[in-house]
Amino acid sequence: MARTALDRAERLFASGRFAELISLLEPQVPIYRESQRFYYLLGSSCLRAGDPGGAATYLKRAEQLSPSNPDTMLALAALAVRKGETERAIDYYLRILEDKPGDRRARACLAVLRKDGGPEGLARLVETGRIERLYPGHRPMPRFALPVAIVLAATAAVYLALPLGAALLESVSRPRAARPEVAAVTLSPSERDSPVQTGGSFRYVLTERQALKSFELAKDYFQAYRDNAAMIEINRLLGSNASPSLKEKVKSLRAFVGQPDFRTIRDSPSYAEAQADPGLYDGCSVAWKGMAANVRPDAGAGAIAFDFLVGYQDKKRLEGLVPARISGAEVPMDRPLEILATLRSARGGLSMDCAAIHQLSPEKAP
């Protein structure tokens, strides 16, 4: 049976003949315009050949055709690292691990970024050529590497069977080097010696150990890009008997909260959780479903105000009503919606600053 151009491209890709692959496939674009694998091979080969512009064009098309394909996300992550967009790369690796927690390639790439994810580290990766460790594509294995690989695989199998191994792998997936400014926020010896104050009225009363642990947890969550979880620890400390100097350090951490995104939001609180303690979830991002009511101009703010009926997208169960507002977008009424918003706490109640509104199709409303 005659091989197709795509079959030949697979062989060229496996053998590392990327320039030949590009010459073979680029004239075939009209034929394979709906093939994710075609665009992945072409884009990854452009990346290997030193053409980031071509890589971006072809890999973005591959992503459009199959948004959750792990090979495409690995290639896009490598491209992002090549361009210095570390946060975008980490986003792709974490998306892969959400679907496939055991994906060794994504974990290995995160480990590289953990070590060399800062500006100087990335520059060294590019200058030394070690950035190619993040690139997709087969590299021939030296003869002596096979027995070594077998030994390493057996060792890893035993190692991963231990709880400690699993815990350490989890720590590897945390992109600490991607946020070196978070690690730079530290407590002085005196602040560690006296992390709490006595006297006064506070919403949360913490022991010295709890206050220090909450501070470190906030930093760890930021490093893992779990900004919601970090905000909860920050709010807990700010509303607690933590010392004034510790609270000042905690306030500086708030600057690292990223913009909400439908794809990357994690640790989103439920309405019941947020309503029970609004202050604890102030500044957290949510993606809640429901409907909009009482839509009106927000006088003086140049925005649209409305009441969001949480959980009412199918008109069967109303969890609660939250005042909301949004700028630069229309707010459909009597339609099932999903909104991306930041929670705000004022006078003990909840409100929302919306970043985006997505209208759900009827079959997705529940």
Digit-coded pLDDT (tens) for 6-53: 999 999 998 888 888 988 998 888 888 889 999 999 999 888 887 888
Does domain 5-134 fall under CATH 1.10.1740.10? My reply is no
Instruction: Name residues whose C-beta falls within 8 Å of residue 285's C-beta, 6 or more positions apart in sequence.
Output: 227, 228, 260, 265, 268, 340, 341, 342, 343, 355
| Domain residue limits, the chain | 5-134, 180-256, 271-364
Categorize the per-residue pLDDT at 200 as very low, low, confident or very high, splitting at 50, 70 and 90: confident
Which residue in this structure is represented by tokens 């407590």?
A: 187
With a pLDDT cut of 90, the percent of the chain lying above it is 38
Q: What is the pLDDT of residues 235-285, one digit of tens each?
A: 999 999 999 999 999 998 888 888 777 777 889 999 999 999 999 999 999
- Tell me how far CA of residue 122 lies from CA of 183, 227, 265, in angstroms: 18, 24, 26
Instruction: Name residues whose C-beta falls within 8 Å of residue 134's C-beta, 6 or more positions apart in sequence.
Output: 77, 78, 81, 109, 112, 125
Tokens of 111: 């480990």
Which pLDDT does position 263 carry in this prediction? 76
What is the CATH number assigned to the segment(s) 271-364? 2.40.50.140
The total of other beta-carbon atoms located within 10 Å of residue 250's CB is: 22
Backbone angles phi, psi at 346, to 5 degrees: -145, 125
- Flag whether the pTM goes above 0.85: no
Which pLDDT does position 41 carry in this prediction? 93
Q: What is the CA radius of gyration of the chain?
A: 25
Q: Which residues pair with 320 in a beta bridge?
A: 310
Categorize the per-residue pLDDT at 152 as very low, low, confident or very high, splitting at 50, 70 and 90: very low
Q: 107, 160 in Cβ contact below 8 A?
A: no
Tokens of 52: 């980031």
Q: 250, 234 in Cβ contact below 8 A?
A: yes
Phi-psi region of 136 (alpha: psi -120 to 50; beta: other; left: phi over 0): beta
Q: Which of 268, 262, 260, 271 is nearest to 321 (CA)?
A: 271
Which pLDDT does position 247 carry in this prediction? 93
Categorize the per-residue pLDDT at 148 as very low, low, confident or very high, splitting at 50, 70 and 90: very low
Which pLDDT does position 143 carry in this prediction? 40
Which pLDDT does position 103 carry in this prediction? 82
Q: What is the pLDDT of residues 291-339, one digit of tens each?
A: 999 999 886 667 899 999 999 999 889 999 999 999 878 899 889 999 9
